[in-house]
Chain A
Amino acid sequence: MKISKLTIKNLFMTATLIFTVAACSNDEEDNNEISSDDLKPTLQQYVSAVVVKTYNLLANEALELSERCKTLQQQATQENVQAAAQKWIDARKYWEESEAFLYGPATSYSIDPHIDSWPLDQNQLQQLLANTVTMSQMSADYAGKYLGYGLLGFHALEYVLFRNGQARNVNEIPALELVYAAAVAEDLARQCVRLEAAWAGIANISNDKQQILEDCELEPDINYGEVFVNAGKSGNTVFRTQKAAITQILMGCSDIADEVANTKITDPVASGNVLDVESWYSWNSITDFADNIRGIDYAYNGERVENANILSVSSYLSKINPSLDGKIREAIKTAIREIENMPAPFRDHLTEAETNAAKTACQQLQELLDEAMDEINN
């Protein structure tokens, strides 16, 4: 995050204000919450309508992907490859959107590296496929426990299901790869269900999903959504104030805007190396990037639609600084538009000229989100 000029200006204004307020106050200890606004409904909206809803959709699609990979293993037809590949794209969309809240269980349970590490370790994969003993016991349990992150998750499945941005030719997929894919897909689905449960509370997910977690002993030991919603309550050591939780929402958004601009786009363009582009086989990068920003849109607006919900960070900020709120909403749209304007596939267009507008738009969005964090804490 960078220090904005606005921050410096507000810093002195705020200091003056605080001086006045505090001078009239008898409560010396109450310095956690400057504002008396009750933001709990806003936090509740974010948790239920955005985070839990997105993870619910992700888990549903991942379970369907797992089923389709099993079907493909049993019946290796081109149609079944297409069906599995399409479901990979569907699940991937929700995962990329969820990267606007890639904190809490996604990191503390290591679900992010578990399901989204890249590149696939092809050398180890060939060793694995050649090991008949190991492959005879291949299962989701085995995969989750013994395969390293370089052999799991979306990018492992992408390798089996795609080539050159298209569903792979079924005749080119060795049978053992389908065994491997079925195991990895089921392991992926379990992790996604765990994410939903960790934010929703295990009692609030479907019975089928509860059973899955129970069977593989992946029941989360926290209800992170509850921790989030109850920010500022006595004893909440994770989010001491409601503003800390609002700031966290913005930080999650800022972090992924930064990642898209300064790593996902910048790195391969700087190196000119096509292997620095994340999606080697599906060529899904532009969709991934746009979905990352859509995740910001939803997190910021408190709904999985583009219009601001009345209970959102956007509406909260609009009361403090309507101009900044307007700029952020516009910057989100611009970033998505500029990303989708990049020529596809991204891997074949790694030039400054073709990518600079998208990168700049994401950087500008990040700067505005950082400014919002300053504004809210002022």
Chain B
Amino acid sequence: MKQYIILIAGLLLTITCACSKDEEDSSSNTTTLSDEYYSGGKLGTVFNETTMAYEQPTPAVENNGMMVSFKRGEALFEKVFVTDTLSGIPRSGLGPVFIRSSCVACHPGYGHGRRVTTFNSNEQGNSYLLCIFHDDGTYYSQFTGMPQTRAVAPYIPPIDESGITINWLPYTDEYGNKYPDGESYSLIYPEVKIAQSAILFNDVDINNDFNVAIEATIGIYGTGLLDAIDDADLIAEASAQQARGYCVGQLGNMITDPDGTTHPGRYTYGLTRGTLQNGPGANAIWNITNVNRDDRRSLYITAAWAQKMEELGIDSYANLMRNDYEPEMTRSDYDDFMIWHRGLAVPAARNLDNAQVQRGRTLFYEMGCTACHKPSWTTGADNYKGDPNLQKELPRYPYQKIYPYTDLLKHDLDMKNPGLRKWCRTTPLWGRGLSLKCTGASDHLHDMRARNYEEAILWHFGQAKPSREKFRNLSKSDRTAVVKFLEAI
């Protein structure tokens, strides 16, 4: 299941092209198509389209003898953390308050979460994080940026999740949700509420300046490849978009990492993380579980919550707010986790030489989708930065041509009820066609409101509306071809 697929594809195409009248053009297409199978480049692609496609190590991991660490890191991701603190217990230190007890709970099959209708954080695959924010987008000081709904007794979480409701409401566009050819489509979006009684703090009034939304996780495969893109290239892409004057993306804020280096944000929907080594995963394994490590020896809580615990006689404010907790995860374990994280391969593209897929590819370009879903990047030297405490080498991906289909910039899709962020990072599209197979679901967008590719495209308003219009005006067979292309990459 490896490189031979590429050769077969390449050869088939060569044969096809040899029968064509335009041999020169076809020959150049052959080269391009063959490259595109390597979504994660030669060092970052795995030829595997089984249900385990998102879980595989990159060739860089295997080539550099990192498999033992990779497997250890994998276990930290997949298995639950427990609250016990007895020395030697694997994956211990959960709590006192937490969001989930395992990483995989929010990344089923290592992919995106799925759309759910009730907020039960115990339900694996419900990857929603709550966002509680003022009208101006800032967080309430009483809650952490990712508010907790679980706690280890006798502690009490700031929010009782039984008081959270998610309503999925219908949305109708100006065309009455109909294509010009008469076919209908349906769109839904979430409205999230928290009952006043579910909030631990008396001074939070849900009737006053109180907004709540949900954001789902995204897939984690290939994030190491994205880290290998040079900051300068990312900044250059943002400048080029400024210059072109349409679909102008916003560069993420500059973020200074623990090693003192500064980088434009490239991870999370809001582009709030600049490197993988100080990225969402490095953060999440601490703040989702509240498991301390040597460089994060405080709890992910707010002063307001600590104060409340003191008022209730559960713990002292001073104890909870300490920043000298003993590490619960060892340095060696954490480094293995990061080797695994940076070592997850991207599944190779599939079926690109299929005529329908090729038609979809042509349309994808013609409709202007590539303005934001930038097909390819070439990584830099990949002298990764961010964390001065790592003691083990991480896998590297220098000078790889990769096909993530994202510009790593924020755009405004002007959606109904967008949630915390009106401007949102362009989601990488690579590998998403395997989502149903790998995760059991194939929902899309930041809150999983789109139940399939078609709905995802139809939620592209704002900057992307011209592309949406072009898609709407395609014939049914061409619309299907676009989806087939998306499934193939």
Contacts and interface: CB of A to CB of B under 8 A. Distances in A.
A243 to B, nearest CB: 10
Given A15-B7, A110-B123, A251 B80 contact: no
A276 B92 CA distance: 12
Contacts of A139: none
B354 A124 contact: no
A41 interface: no
Contact of B80 (A12, A150, A374): A150
B101 A255 contact: no
| Interface of A: prevailing SS | helix
Interface in B93-134: 94, 101-102, 104-105, 108-109, 120, 122-125
Interface in B351-373: 351, 353-356
Interface string A362-377: 0000000000011001
Nearest to A108: B440
Contacts, number: 172
B interface bracket (residues with beta carbon within 8 Å of A): 35 or more
B4 A262 contact: no
B75 A275 contact: no
A273 B16 CA distance: 59
B49 interface: yes
Given A15-B4, A103-B52, A118 B351 contact: no
Contacts of B12: 18, 22, 28, 31
Contact of A104 (B51, B71, B81, B351): B51
A29 B108 CA distance: 33
Interface stretch (A87-95, A141-149, A308-316, A343-351): A141-149
Contacts of A23: 15
Given A124-B152, A148-B80, A377-B5, A19 B11 contact: yes
Interface stretch (A2-10, A44-52, A295-303): A2-10
A199 to B, nearest CB: 13
Interface stretch (B29-37, B83-91, B182-190, B390-398): B83-91
Given A127-B153, A148-B101, A248 B51 contact: yes
Given A2-B62, A150-B101, A238-B437, A7 B51 contact: no
- Of the listed residues A120, A251, A255, A270, the one surrounded by the most CB atoms of chain B closer than 10 A to its CB is A251
Contact of B52 (A14, A105, A148, A251): A251
B82 interface: yes
Contact of B354 (A29, A109, A149, A276): A29
Contacts of A377: 1, 4-5
A61 to B, nearest CB: 24
Contacts of A270: 68
Given A148-B101, A247-B50, A262-B67, A107 B2 contact: no
Given A10-B4, A251-B51, 12 more contacts: A11-B4, A31-B8, A108-B109, A110-B123, A119-B84, A119-B90, A124-B152, A127-B154, A148-B122, A149-B101, A266-B71, A377-B1
